[in-house]
Structure 1
Amino acid sequence: MVEIESESEDQQDPVEAFMSLDRWPSSPVETFLVGFVIVNVVGLRHYEGIISGREIVGLVREELNPYDENAIKVLNMRSVQVGHVERSAASVLSPLIDGGLITVEGIVPKPPGKGSRFKMPCQVHIFARIEEFERVKLAIAGGGLQLIADNNASFTLSEAMAVKETKSTLGEKSVDEIFKLLDMKVGKQGVSEALDPPKDMIKSELFSHQKEGLGWLVSRENSCDLPPFWEEKNGVYVNELTNFQTDTRPDPLQGGIFADDMGLGKTLTLLSLIALDKWAHLGQSSGNINGEDEEELGEEEYNPILDKKSKRGRGSRKADNSRKKRKTEDLNAKEMGKRPALGESSVLEPKTTLIVCPPSVFSSWITQLEEHTRQGTFKVYMYYGERTKDATELGKHDIVLTTYSTLASEESCEGSPIKKIEWRRVILDEAHVIKNVNTQQSRAVTNLKAKRRWAVTGTPVQNNSFDLFSLVAFLKFEPLSMKSLWNSLIQRPLTQGDENGISRLQVLMATISLRRTKDKAMVGLPTKIIETFLVNLHEEERKVYDQMEDEAGKIVKNYISDESVVKNYSNVLSILLRLRQICSDLSLCPADLRALLPSSQIEDVANNPTLLQKLLLVLQDGEDFDCPICISPPTDIIITCCAHIFCESCILKTIKRTKPCCPMCRHPLSESDLFKAPPESCHSSTTEKGSSSRLSSKVTALLKLLSAAREARPSSKSVIFSQFRKMLLLLEEPLKEAGFNVIRLDGSMNAKKRAQVIKDFGVPAPVGPTILLASLKASNAGINLTAASTVYLMEPWWNPGVEEQAMDRVHRIGQKDDVKIVRLIAKDTIEERILQLQEKKRVLAKKAFGKRGQKEQREINREDLSALMNL
């Protein structure tokens, strides 16, 4: 096992990306077309972007423009800037965009004429929530712009995609007709031919579903077809969705989303893809590796993990090319699998694959390389911790392994060797990490140069369909990689409950993704049984819970009625968090419960530093809260006077901008408006029993279940997941007192320590431990816990995908026993309602990859909050 260095020096700096977003982050909301205004796009001669016909364009807010604080830049479908919206119009629209009142989309009715090289007209279509229509109309009229709404005769002249969908002109296809034609084309392609990897490179035998997956990956990588939505008309290439035209043939879409269920061996399939590609590539360039040739490469070079230089130079390899070529030609075709057609492949093409993954998955890739590849197959470089600055050095390797945060830390560094290379392929493992397209790490991977791009995740949809947009943007799938078009064609119909939205999403996923579930993959995995064990709270817990829920319900009801849920999201989160913690153990809650309830007036919170500190303590207890800027669990937590939570470094960098304000509500901020988290000493009571000396109802139920399982099978192992680190600490003592051998895995451990814990857990009982206490977020991806056969979930998670990832650390290829999942749920509490919310998210995730034509429910909205609070 190779030691992994800590990544502490690779702190990402996401503030620059966050501050330059075209839109502040928000949850999907229902918006409708208010109308459109006609503005001029100016500065055409200063930019390279070209408009050749009637085209959709992207309108992107550019807050950091040094010349105009209201700037809105205009991009063509290829995301190349065309110009800016004229200042007079931008000064009216930008404050409405910044305030979250409107979103805008643009379309150029016609290209600039020969006599108009400096400007061209653009229709800006304005969308808002219905309750904001009048406010938006007044602001636009007051700014001197003429809004053409649906009650205006000129509205029929709009080129809006929303209008075109229902009023297509003669000879044009509607959007849904375009998607339907694509669906028919995909349906005719059939199942990809199964392929075997080269036996002298991959030593493991693939399951049938992995061979079929390998065939799909190879066919995608070697496709020469026009990308979806493009067609050739008289030598000109036209995008049917946007009407963008070009004389240059668009590059094929060589890649996609590899979304097989967790635990089906995606890593081995991907290693087989790299091996098969290298084998075919070397075959064409009269070279080969390994087998008897390993001796010529030097005994140090065969190590598939450590980056070692060969003892013999390139000259000895070149001298034996003819013998290698003969060996390649003599290989048995049945043993080696079929060689993919690579066309006119050149030895000068890039050969290196970049694999990006979270730190927790790093050691898993290394283990998989050791287990599945023969010695000498790949030269691998770990771009992590102390690393080379020489791009040429990286290009000498077959595989470069790195992490998302390493790339994010180098995003603003022009000298980064990662950015200088055009990679043969980039593979994003656990690609849902970039589900928020606005983060630094998402931007870093999207900006990489690569021939082929793969997004690999077993949970491509975790919260809503917008999770998929970041993957589409990474794949460079034009034009849907443009946010405004995604919003128009996919996101808005879904949010409004329009069945066309889910139908289009299903066609899109069928076109660019492969997803097989365990029940259909025929891999012979043992059975997985999921049970929900309802726990009755004892009298004291029930009294405290009911009191808390009653008080909290009144506050949340007020937020909902006065439309201030988003503004008070930190307060809402803390309320929900406390209710969930009471369900697990009263010891997680301080005695003074009422003081933890935030006031319904934000001003009162701002003037109460003591209450702010207590609110911080609430938020520190949970692992499911992310800083809105870096989208990671906050470090050195800061709460603002407007009650929003950030990392200290993130918010300090943000307020140093020219217009310091809260990124969430735009409240003016200075350093005196920031409150720091209580010192660590506040956690000294984490192992005390709190207000009650008796064990909680859940802990008591868990001990009974574990004892019964031990009596039935003494050597069996179990994993207990909780999202609260305090809960894991509280569990250790009673479990040890009950005679269980316990170890713990949580987010406070570095990668090296985590790897050691996982290794220790694999030691068979009675020598090895039988119970692993695991943090849900630290253990939900990329690790193998098949030593266990039972999983206990101490509380439900908002996101069912995270739970499923955690379960599938145990239920995966390599598991020999049936797996039992037990969910401990407090009866008649918020936990039962969270299960209902999870089911809604599961339905969306399934439908995105389901059969076309299914009707979609609305995405999660404020009604869900009412349901959670039992209002």
Structure 2
Amino acid sequence: MSLDQWQDEDADPSSSQSSSETYMVGFVIANIVGLQFYSGNITGREMVGLVREPLNPFDKNAIRVLNTRTIQVGHIERSVAAVLSPLMANHTILVEGIVPNTRTSGNRYKIPCQIHVFARLEMFDTVKSWFSRGGLHLVSGDDVSFGLSEAMVVKERRERKGIKSVDEIFKLVDQNVKKKAKMVAVEPPQEIIKSELFVHQKEGLGWLFQRENSGELPPFWEDRNGQFVNILTNHTTDNRPEPLRGGLFADDMGLGKTLTLLSLIALDKCTRFGTNSSYLNTVEKISEVEEELSSSSSKKRKRGRVSEMGTGRRKQYKTENSRSDGNCKGKSVGIFNESSGVPLKKMTLIVCPPSVFSTWITQLEEHTIPGMLNTYMYYGNRTGDVEELKKYDVVLTTYSTLASEDSWLDTPVKNIEWWRVILDEAHAIKNANSQQSQAVTNLKANRRWVVTGTPIQNGSFDLFSLMAFLKFEPFSIKSYWQGLVQRPLARGSQKGLSRLQVLMSAISLRRTKDKGLIELPPKTVETCYIELSGEERNLYDELEGEAKGVVQDYISAGSVVRNYSTVLSIILRLRQICTNLALCPSDLRSALPSNNIEADVSNNPDLLKKLVAALQDGEDFDCPICISPPTNIVITCCAHIFCQSCILKTLQRTKPCCPLCRHPLSQSDLFSSPPEPSDSSITDSSSSKNVISSKMSALLTLLLALKDQNPTTKSVVFSQFRKLLILLEEPLKAAGFKFLRLDGSMNAKRRAQVIEEFQVPVPGGPTVLLASLKASGAGINLTVASRVFLLEPWWNPAVEEQAMDRVHRIGQKEDVKIVRLIARNSIEERILELQERKKNLAREAFGRRRKNQREKKLQLSNFKNMKMVGRSGSWT
């Protein structure tokens, strides 16, 4: 159940791997009209993007046509749009467009276009009937003219002499990527960076520096005698495409990406480098490598081979004598504005979650010379003056801050053309249509970086939003991503996996800790299976049996989506039984409403609030609109839960409705969530229950055994239930442990105090940190601990990995042991199976193709069988 695309009126359910597979029904011929009103052009056989425009004042069925540079060319003629648009709006069909041939000397105000229509197999008859009633001739597979289709799925079945297939093009690009795989280590300027970098960090700095200053054509572009052609889309232009200056920095968590990025920023600041000959030599090495690659590529172009590198006007790395500016002395390595020759203002905007702010500030304090990198925190009470921001080298802000300003007409962040934008923890924008994703994508930037150790959290579609931010054409356009990568992947095609691997190798750098890049102590992960007590087992089996019946009724009635929140509530209660019965309400059957919940809740606000309270108990529920933990939670009359700001934005549409079930909505249909319970109320309400569950008892046994071995060993206990962390305090105190708690209810200042207190190795100090998985899973350093206990499995394995790597990272001196507590014969075991499929997907995306075809098929099944994408979801 993924709502990744609902906000886009052109939403495409097949864009997620959770959707049913779609197949080509046929195609129609339509004209692109209104060319005289738009600047976009089409110069030959070219793929085009088709996007609904429901707010068009002249035609609510209007469909815009975009070329490969996302510039509007025109509209699909009105009679055809009237048939296509309603089916696109309700997600019955997906469409892809292609202009078959070069424009003729006919009507210069319209261009013929093939529109290929895709649908689920069971919808074929419905689609054909709709087209027939609309007076359109749908050329389908049994039509003689079907062979004229230019659709990729049809072309790949035909051999076309002299024309390279898509996979031949990908293969040639891959060969070029492999030739450029040589890493060059670059020393950071010592006048700014005072810490010594590891070898892999220096090589990473060299890779970042190369990509930022490259003059190459972007991947999939060719220079053909002064004309530039995208060999995938056939778009031709006289203007040289801008290099893809940036990419995906995806090193494993804990390998020091932040320091590497600070070193990159320092290279900008230090426009006068010292006389360090080793640094100058490394810059010269980079130049030599690029010259060698450029020369090699030029020779291949002469032999008619595809290349991703261009010639002419390529920026050079150059050293020149210049006077000191007071910061650094000696030679300079500068990047200049090509037209004016004036050094560009090099301001870096860093976007990150609030929890990562402290990491950047700490790293600046630890690794840079004070005062050398002027930093401004654009957060909370912030300036509105552009000139004020321009005084700083680094500006730190959050995704939510940018999202809140997205609708503002005039903000300093929007008005500055940034030298560089860095998205830290970039998986935060995995939903390409969320407001925060759109806000960062719309920023003006010369260089763009997405930085995350977990680029794939749920499925391969997570990568599309990164492509959109990086402006990696044509993959930054949804229809191209779907046709070239997503659809083949969803069908388990080897072509889809190979293409994805080529794309990742072309734009990303990923190194993992298991490659021995740094001498970290070993990390072991153990799974400790817990047998539920008799009471826990009886209650679990009873609720599971009843829940299966309720969900089956929903399935039979076709109302699963309408009862989305209810299903999640049921699953949550099953998981809570596995952890501690005190987490559950006394009347568990309140989690099992009837199949007529829509009718029940419209007049029953108390039932609505019960559902909200149930989902508030855990941290694994995301707002289905922004795919982030909800803020200011509201629940609708149809029993669906959203952020207040997200659902209010929905109500601004011409036909406001619930994005999950399409039930009509107004503000009077929204109910506020109950306040979160206080710590004291949690302990009071649980005092009458047996709070020492089977899982808690096992945890205490493990902690006591560890204490007997070494009383000073520190442990972090992660849970997604804040209530459980509070319930653990009394048993820990009774067992003689000193502990601290860190959860999402604390403000940033209090969190920092807790972390600082836990880090201090004072005799008799706290040895256990009770930590909320979401509040502590990213952006903090807990290397003072060497043991991690995970009390429940998370739907998303990347979140668990982030939690583990708060401890297992640079600075860790002890062997690290991770213990996962799993209730046997329960939903927790099924979550582990889902985790493994997601892990395999991420590994394969960044892997290389193997020769063993049988092994390939087994790996591809990981993509094909992944039927769940949201963290909120659970059905596999």
TM-score by length of structure 2 reads 0.88
* 8 Å contact from structure 2 (residues 334, 343) kept in 1: no
Q: Percent identical across equivalent pairs?
A: 64
Write out aligned runs for 1:623-702 (5 A). 623-680=619-676, 685-687=681-683, 688-689=685-686, 692-702=689-699
| Structure 2 CA distance for aligned equivalents of residues 137 and 690 of structure 1 | 64
| Residue from 612, 624, 649 that aligns with 1:616 | 612
Q: Which amino acid aligns with 1:785?
A: L
Task: Report the Cα offset of residue 604 of structure 1.
Answer: 4.6
Structure 2 residue 144 is the aligned partner of structure 1 residue 147: no
Structure 2 residue 486 is the aligned partner of structure 1 residue 495: no
Q: 1:695 to 1:69 in 2, by over 3 A?
A: same
Task: Report the Cα offset of residue 121 of structure 1.
Answer: 1.9
* 8 Å contact from structure 1 (residues 596, 611) kept in 2: no
Please give the per-residue CA displacement for 1:575-595, whole angstroms capped at 9, x wherever unaligned. Answer: 221111111111111121222
| Structure 1 CA distance for aligned equivalents of residues 117 and 352 of structure 2 | 39
Structure 2 residue 818 is the aligned partner of structure 1 residue 830: no
Choose 546-555 or 791-800, whichever is displaced more. 546-555
Structure 2 residue 354 is the aligned partner of structure 1 residue 390: no
Please give the per-residue CA displacement for 1:93-140, whole angstroms capped at 9, x wherever unaligned. Answer: 222122121111111223554442332222111111112222222222
In structure 1, the residue matched to 2:296 is none
| Residue from 368, 372, 379 that aligns with 2:367 | 372
Q: 1:544 to 1:657 in 2, by over 3 A?
A: same
* 8 Å contact from structure 1 (residues 605, 643) kept in 2: no
Structure 2 residue 734 is the aligned partner of structure 1 residue 746: no
Structure 2 residue 579 is the aligned partner of structure 1 residue 599: no
Structure 2 residue 351 is the aligned partner of structure 1 residue 363: no
Structure 2 residue 733 is the aligned partner of structure 1 residue 736: yes
Task: Report the Cα offset of residue 228 of structure 1.
Answer: 0.5
Q: 1:705 to 1:245 in 2, by over 3 A?
A: same
Write out aligned runs for 1:157-176 (5 A). 157-176=148-167
Q: 1:392 to 1:808 in 2, by over 3 A?
A: same
* 8 Å contact from structure 1 (residues 590, 690) kept in 2: no
* 8 Å contact from structure 1 (residues 715, 765) kept in 2: no
Q: 1:863 to 1:237 in 2, by over 3 A?
A: closer
In structure 2, the residue matched to 1:274 is 265
| Structure 2 CA distance for aligned equivalents of residues 281 and 544 of structure 1 | 70
Task: Report the Cα offset of residue 788 of structure 1.
Answer: 1.0
Q: Which amino acid aligns with 1:551?
A: E
Task: Report the Cα offset of residue 513 of structure 1.
Answer: 0.3
Q: 1:636 to 1:452 in 2, by over 3 A?
A: closer
| Structure 2 CA distance for aligned equivalents of residues 253 and 326 of structure 1 | 30
* 8 Å contact from structure 1 (residues 389, 417) kept in 2: yes
Structure 2 residue 432 is the aligned partner of structure 1 residue 445: no
Write out aligned runs for 1:411-810 (5 A). 411-560=406-555, 564-606=559-601, 609=604, 610-680=606-676, 685-687=681-683, 688-689=685-686, 692-810=689-807
Task: Report the Cα offset of residue 728 of structure 1.
Answer: 1.4
Q: 1:415 to 1:670 in 2, by over 3 A?
A: closer
| Residue from 836, 841, 851 that aligns with 2:838 | 841
Q: Secondary structure at the match of 1:190?
A: coil
In structure 2, the residue matched to 1:110 is 101
In structure 2, the residue matched to 1:851 is 848
Q: Secondary structure at the match of 1:187?
A: helix
Please give the per-residue CA displacement for 1:524-562, whole angstroms capped at 9, x wherever unaligned. Answer: 011111110111100110011001111112233344456
Please give the per-residue CA displacement for 1:507-538, whole angstroms capped at 9, x wherever unaligned. Answer: 11011000000011420011111110111100
* 8 Å contact from structure 1 (residues 192, 219) kept in 2: no
In structure 2, the residue matched to 1:34 is 25
Q: Which amino acid aligns with 1:644?
A: H
Q: Which amino acid aligns with 2:395?
A: V
In structure 1, the residue matched to 2:301 is none
Q: 1:765 to 1:706 in 2, by over 3 A?
A: farther
Between Structure 1 and Structure 2, how many residues are aligned? 813
Q: Which runs of 5+ in 2 are unaligned?
A: 276-320, 851-855
| Residue from 117, 132, 138 that aligns with 2:129 | 138
Task: Report the Cα offset of residue 330 of structure 1.
Answer: 7.5
* 8 Å contact from structure 2 (residues 189, 274) kept in 1: no
| Structure 2 CA distance for aligned equivalents of residues 363 and 325 of structure 1 | 29
Q: Which amino acid aligns with 1:638?
A: V
Structure 2 residue 194 is the aligned partner of structure 1 residue 206: no
* 8 Å contact from structure 2 (residues 335, 343) kept in 1: no
Q: 1:694 to 1:416 in 2, by over 3 A?
A: closer
Q: 1:550 to 1:68 in 2, by over 3 A?
A: same
Choose 144-153 or 763-772, whichever is displaced more. 763-772
| Structure 2 CA distance for aligned equivalents of residues 495 and 281 of structure 1 | 51
Structure 2 residue 73 is the aligned partner of structure 1 residue 82: yes
| Residue from 224, 241, 261 that aligns with 2:232 | 241
Q: Secondary structure at the match of 2:577?
A: helix
Q: Secondary structure at the match of 1:371?
A: helix
Structure 2 residue 255 is the aligned partner of structure 1 residue 258: no
* 8 Å contact from structure 1 (residues 710, 716) kept in 2: yes
| Structure 2 CA distance for aligned equivalents of residues 607 and 661 of structure 1 | 15
Task: Report the Cα offset of residue 678 of structure 1.
Answer: 3.6
Task: Report the Cα offset of residue 67 of structure 1.
Answer: 2.6
* 8 Å contact from structure 1 (residues 434, 441) kept in 2: yes
Q: 1:604 to 1:187 in 2, by over 3 A?
A: same
Write out aligned runs for 1:295-314 (5 A). none
| Structure 1 CA distance for aligned equivalents of residues 251 and 676 of structure 2 | 42
TM-score by length of structure 1 reads 0.89
Structure 2 residue 10 is the aligned partner of structure 1 residue 22: yes
* 8 Å contact from structure 2 (residues 221, 230) kept in 1: yes
* 8 Å contact from structure 1 (residues 605, 641) kept in 2: no
| Structure 2 CA distance for aligned equivalents of residues 102 and 668 of structure 1 | 23
Q: 1:745 to 1:66 in 2, by over 3 A?
A: farther
* 8 Å contact from structure 1 (residues 236, 246) kept in 2: yes
Q: Secondary structure at the match of 2:798?
A: helix
In structure 1, the residue matched to 2:348 is 353
Q: 1:211 to 1:633 in 2, by over 3 A?
A: same
In structure 2, the residue matched to 1:50 is 41
Q: Which amino acid aligns with 1:631?
A: I
Q: Secondary structure at the match of 2:270?
A: helix
Choose 364-373 or 632-641, whichever is displaced more. 632-641
| Structure 2 CA distance for aligned equivalents of residues 869 and 280 of structure 1 | 52
Task: Report the Cα offset of residue 840 of structure 1.
Answer: 0.2
* 8 Å contact from structure 1 (residues 795, 823) kept in 2: yes
Q: 1:767 to 1:691 in 2, by over 3 A?
A: closer
* 8 Å contact from structure 2 (residues 582, 690) kept in 1: no
Q: Secondary structure at the match of 1:777?
A: helix
In structure 2, the residue matched to 1:68 is 59
* 8 Å contact from structure 2 (residues 793, 832) kept in 1: yes
* 8 Å contact from structure 1 (residues 587, 691) kept in 2: no
Q: Which amino acid aligns with 1:634?
A: P
| Structure 1 CA distance for aligned equivalents of residues 84 and 128 of structure 2 | 11
Q: Secondary structure at the match of 2:447?
A: strand
| Structure 2 CA distance for aligned equivalents of residues 232 and 321 of structure 1 | 36
Q: Which runs of 5+ in 1 are unaligned?
A: 1-14, 285-319, 332-338
| Structure 1 CA distance for aligned equivalents of residues 439 and 145 of structure 2 | 43
Structure 2 residue 319 is the aligned partner of structure 1 residue 328: no
In structure 2, the residue matched to 1:317 is none
* 8 Å contact from structure 1 (residues 356, 429) kept in 2: yes
| C-alpha RMSD over aligned residues | 2.7
Task: Report the Cα offset of residue 467 of structure 1.
Answer: 0.6
Task: Report the Cα offset of residue 648 of structure 1.
Answer: 2.9
In structure 1, the residue matched to 2:298 is none
Q: 1:137 to 1:570 in 2, by over 3 A?
A: farther
| Structure 1 CA distance for aligned equivalents of residues 843 and 227 of structure 2 | 38
| Structure 1 CA distance for aligned equivalents of residues 268 and 598 of structure 2 | 62
